[in-house]
Structures are given as C-alpha cells and as structure tokens.
C-alpha cells in the first residue's frame, strides 16, 4: 500500500483524513490518499496568497519565472516513465498513452516558460496633451486550478503554465479519482525550486475541499475542467468571491464523414478518436454522422477494427485499450447502451463487459447504429468506448445533426472536397474543428467549447491574459500648477 501526501506551503504532509485508491484493472486497493479538509484548503489558499504578496515571488522577474517553468519541463521529461506508471496504475489509462502524453506535457511548460517575458502592456495615444497613459498587465492573484482524473497532467499544464508565467500563485486540486500522478508531480515542483506557497497540490471531496476552495475569499481565479453539473456548483460558489472563471467541460463531439473519402483511412481516425483512452476523453468523437452511400461499408470496417482491439493489462505496451476508471462510469455506460437499444438502436458490436477480464472495469468497444437523433447514446455524454452512428443525405442535414447538441467542444469533418471542408468549419458550432484529422493538439493552439462545453479558452499565447488584470497608469506631464477647480475662468 503506497501512501501519498498533499503539498502545502512547500511542505509534504500526511492528510488528517485519508481514502483508498483502487486500481481499475484489478479493482484492488493499492494506495492511500490525503483527503484535504476545509482547514487544509484554507491553509493552502492562505499560503498561495502570502506567496503572491511575498517579494521573493512578487519581485521575481518574468524571465526567471519562465526559467522555473522550463526547469519543470526538464524534470517532467526526466521523470515521464515514473509519472506514466502512476497514472496507469491509478486510472487504468494504458501505459503507451500515458507515456506519450506526459512526454508531450513538458512542451506546454516550455511554451509557457518562453511566453512569460513576452507579456507586455501598452502606451496609449491619449487625447489629453498633458497626460501620459500606459497599461500594465498584472497577475490576477491566487488561482484555484481543478482538474479531472483523465489527462490530468496535461489539463494541469494548460492552467498552471500560464498562471505561473503571468505571476500568479496556484492551489491545484487533483480529482479524488486517480490523484496519484498530480500528488507525485508536486515533488517535481518542489525540486524545480518554486518558492514555498507558489504551487500547492491537494485532493479531496465535496464541500470540505471543492466548495471551500472555489468559494474562498482569497481566490481570484478559478480554472476548472470537468462535468457541467460540477461546473454549475462552481459558478454558484464563485458568487461568494466573484472570481474570474473558465470552464472546460464535456462534449458529444460529431465526426461528419462525406462519401468522397478514403474509407480505410477514415476508419482508422474514427477508431482512434473514440476508442483511445477507452473513450474517456472530453473530445472523443462519439457521434459519427456518415453519408448514407458509404454508411454500411464504413460500419463494417469499424466493427472489424473494434473487435480486433487488444484489451488487457494497461501496463502492457501491447495493450490497445484498458479499463474504465471507475465502476460508476461502467454502470452508467451499461445503462445508456441498454436504453439506446430499447429505443431502436442496433448493436453492431460490443455492448457488454469483457467476458474474461472480470476483475477490472473492462467494457468492450461498442458501436450503435442509430435510426434517428433522439437515441440516448447520441444525446448523452457517456465518457466511454461507445460510438453512435447516424446517416445523412445532404450537407445541410449533416450540419443540422452536428449542431443538434447541447455541447460544442470538438468536431471532425472528413471530405476530399476542400471548399466543402471550409464551409463545414464555418457552419459547425464547436470550439475545435478538425478537417481530415482528429485529436491533434499543440501548446500553440487554444481550445475550449460552446454551450454546455464551457466558457473560456486554454492553451495558446492569449491564455496568459486570462491570468492578468489590466491596470491603467495616468501620469501628468505638465509642470504648470494645477488650477483651483473652484475658480471660474
């Protein structure tokens, strides 16, 4: 049984309360985690607030902050195998994915490290001849960064990176489901040399942890990734501190396929888009909207590929799909798939737990052929390896189906017709539109959603601005005495 600690004010400490974490591939308890109490959260926020005001951090040059982020990137690169193993153990995400993704996370810290001293204000051509006016960009303050268990090191990087580059301090809350990688990541923060209190890492439950953090009067900014229901609680909590808030939420991403494509190539992209990470990704391409002329052929190829996916031990580099992270998620997917079939969907493949891997949360890659858009699996986010397929005849119909969702995070379009591809990028209401590719990411490119997929953007050069406030500085340049305002002239 491994024991993990929380990290507050530069000190690793045991939690006064703890909980067990379970390996999704075996359902066995393997680690004990600290559950932050309200008192722990208060200490973490106060530590971040004090560090924000301390000259050690407040007077540190932007270039030096950038060097700290680059140093952190170097440590992530050196420790990728260790972090990847922890994430695989605690979340069930396969080792070939965690290794690749965590290795690339370092690039985000390098990017934001380089951006730290590129943030600048402006000199305004004011309409008053005896005034000089400049704008300063100053850090917003203490940031509450809250991430889910899936892709947690990446989702932390797009919050922690710009926050630190801007000069903020951070309380990073890991999900209580699979927090091991982020609690371990705190050791790299410590080794990189960040001043005490600048970055704090905790995890915990409900009102004690989450509500206390997001409603805390010393928190000036909340950056959250998770589900819409939790986001609504956070928005209500933020009424207590009027913290600026960004929300990166769920998705029900459409992938539109026209009949002029290379079907084999598209099938590979669709399989990667929905079955990678066992479908546990907010940008998973879970709605396949395919032109009727090629629907049967594409479905046949997808079923062949889905049934050949190698499912098993997530620590094995040969494994292509691992377990779901929680038994709760497994039960939710089973319920929605059964509901969808009762509504008229045809089960093409999968639709049940793995027949032999009975100890873990394994669910077979599943494809549902849906006769209409009001099938449960088309409307609800499942966060699992379930692809819902629906046919269309015209481009206008494809657009209507793609946009018929409360969500709007990501989307994909596959077509050989370049002009049609351009039309589709304008028509689809989503924060990301991939054309003839899917799930490509880069620290240079922002991402975020429409509708119930949230508000705000993460990544890219402009994201650092969301961690700053603008200060207007007026300087009178005239040497003449200021006239008496009460003397008539």
Per the domain annotation, does 187 fall within a domain?
yes
Q: If we measure between CA atoms, which residue out of 153, 209, 160 comes closest to residue 183?
A: 153
CA atoms within 13 A on the CB side of 455: 9
pLDDT of amino acid 245: 97
9 plus 140 within the same structural domain:
yes
Per the domain annotation, does 116 fall within a domain?
yes
Per the domain annotation, does 23 fall within a domain?
yes
Tens place of pLDDT for every residue, the chain, 489 residues? 899 999 999 999 999 899 999 999 999 999 999 999 999 999 999 999 999 999 999 999 999 999 999 999 999 999 999 999 999 999 999 999 999 999 999 999 999 999 999 999 999 999 999 999 999 999 999 999 999 999 999 999 999 999 999 999 999 999 999 999 999 999 999 999 999 999 999 999 989 999 999 999 999 999 999 999 999 999 999 999 999 999 999 899 999 999 999 999 999 999 999 999 999 999 999 999 999 999 999 999 999 999 999 999 999 999 999 999 999 999 999 999 999 999 999 999 999 999 999 999 999 999 999 999 999 999 999 999 999 999 999 999 999 999 999 999 999 999 999 999 999 999 999 999 999 999 999 999 999 999 999 999 999 999 999 999 999 999 999 999 998 989 877
pLDDT of amino acid 283: 96
Q: Give the integer Cα–Cα distance in Å for 19 and 389.
A: 40
DSSP-assigned letters across all residues of 41-85: HHHHHHHHHHHHHSHHHHTS-HHHHHHHHHHHHHHHHHTHHHHHH
Per the domain annotation, does 126 fall within a domain?
yes
Q: Give the integer Cα–Cα distance in Å for 141 and 103.
A: 29
Q: What is the CATH number of the domain that holds 377?
A: 3.40.309.10
73 plus 217 within the same structural domain:
yes
272 plus 224 within the same structural domain:
no
75 plus 150 within the same structural domain:
yes
104 plus 232 within the same structural domain:
yes
* Inter-helix orientation angle 80-91/152-166, to 10°: 130
Two structure tokens written together for 269: 């992209």
Two structure tokens written together for 240: 């207590």
Q: Give the integer Cα–Cα distance in Å for 285 and 412.
A: 8
Which range of residues forms the domain containing residue 391?
254-435
Q: Give the integer Cα–Cα distance in Å for 464 and 444.
A: 12
- Number of structural domains (the chain) is 2
322 plus 346 within the same structural domain:
yes
Per the domain annotation, does 396 fall within a domain?
yes
Residue 279 is classified by DSSP as G
Per the domain annotation, does 16 fall within a domain?
yes
Per the domain annotation, does 283 fall within a domain?
yes
Residue 366 is classified by DSSP as E
201 plus 107 within the same structural domain:
yes
201 plus 100 within the same structural domain:
yes
286 plus 138 within the same structural domain:
no
Respond yes or no: is residue 248 known to be catalytic: yes
Q: What is the CATH number of the domain that holds 107?
A: 3.40.605.10
Q: Give the integer Cα–Cα distance in Å for 163 and 159.
A: 6
86 plus 106 within the same structural domain:
yes
Q: Give the integer Cα–Cα distance in Å for 251 and 254.
A: 9
200 plus 132 within the same structural domain:
yes
Residue 76 φ/ψ region, left for φ over 0, alpha for ψ in the -120 to 50 degree band, beta for the rest: alpha
pLDDT of amino acid 488: 79
Q: If we measure between CA atoms, which residue out of 343, 349, 327 comes closest to residue 274?
A: 349
Residue 353 is classified by DSSP as B
Q: How many CB atoms lie within 10 A of CB 2?
A: 13
What are the backbone angles phi and psi of residue 302, rounded to the nearest 5°? -65, -40
Q: Is residue 275 within 8 Å of residue 308, measured between CB atoms?
A: no
Q: Is residue 131 within 8 Å of residue 476, measured between CB atoms?
A: yes
Per the domain annotation, does 326 fall within a domain?
yes
Single out the catalytic residue among 87, 97, 248, 381: 248
96 plus 174 within the same structural domain:
yes
Q: Rg for the chain (alpha carbons), in Å?
A: 25
């Amino acid at each position: 049984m491994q024991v993990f600690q929380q990290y507050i004010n530069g000190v690793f400490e045991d939690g006064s309360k703890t909980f067990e974490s379970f390996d999704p591939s075996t359902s066995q308890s393997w680690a004990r985690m600290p559950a932050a109490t309200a008192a722990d959260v208060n200490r973490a926020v106060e530590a971040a607030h004090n560090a924000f005001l301390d000259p050690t951090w407040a007077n540190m040059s932007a270039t030096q902050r950038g060097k700290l982020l680059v140093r952190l990137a170097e440590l992530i690169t050196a420790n990728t195998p260790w972090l990847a193993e922890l994430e695989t153990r605690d979340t069930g995400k396969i080792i070939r994915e965690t290794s690749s993704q965590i290795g690339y996370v370092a690039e985000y810290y390098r990017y934001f490290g380089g951006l730290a001293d590129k943030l600048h204000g402006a000199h305004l051509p004011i309409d008053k001849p005896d005034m000089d006016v400049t704008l300063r960009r100053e850090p917003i303050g203490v940031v509450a960064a809250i991430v889910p268990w899936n892709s947690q090191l990446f989702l932390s990087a797009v919050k922690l990176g710009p926050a630190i580059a801007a000069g903020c301090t951070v309380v990073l809350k890991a999900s209580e489901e699979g927090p091991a990688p982020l609690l371990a990541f705190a050791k790299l923060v410590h080794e990189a040399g960040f001043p005490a209190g600048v970055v704090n890492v905790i995890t915990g439950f409900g009102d004690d942890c989450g509500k206390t953090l997001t409603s805390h009067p010393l928190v000036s900014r909340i950056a959250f990734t998770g589900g819409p229901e939790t986001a609504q609680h956070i928005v209500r909590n933020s009424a207590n501190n009027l913290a600026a808030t960004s929300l990166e939420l769920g998705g029900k991403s459409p992938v539109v396929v026209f009949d002029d494509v290379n079907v084999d190539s598209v099938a590979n992209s669709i399989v990667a888009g929905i079955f990678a990470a066992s479908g546990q990704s907010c940008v998973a391409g879970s709605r396949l909207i395919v032109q009727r002329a090629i629907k049967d052929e594409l479905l046949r190829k997808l079923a062949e590929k889905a049934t050949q996916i190698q499912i098993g031990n997530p620590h094995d580099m040969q494994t292509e799909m691992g377990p779901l992270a929680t038994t709760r998620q497994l039960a939710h997917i089973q319920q929605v798939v059964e509901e969808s079939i009762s509504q008229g969907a045809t089960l093409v493949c999968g639709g049940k737990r793995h027949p032999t891997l009975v100890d873990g949360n394994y669910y077979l890659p599943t494809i549902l052929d849906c006769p209409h858009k009001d099938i449960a699996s088309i409307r609800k986010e499942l966060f699992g390896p379930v692809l819902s397929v629906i046919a269309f005849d015209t481009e206008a119909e494809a657009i209507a189906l793609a946009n018929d969702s409360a969500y709007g995070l990501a989307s994909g379009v596959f077509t050989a017709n370049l002009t049609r591809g351009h039309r589709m990028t304008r028509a689809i209401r989503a924060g990301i539109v991939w054309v003839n590719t899917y799930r490509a990411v880069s620290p240079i490119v922002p991402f975020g959603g429409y509708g119930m997929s949230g508000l705000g953007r993460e990544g890219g050069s402009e994201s650092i601005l969301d961690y700053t406030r603008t200060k207007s500085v007026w300087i009178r340049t005239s040497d003449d005495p200021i006239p008496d305002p009460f003397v008539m002239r």
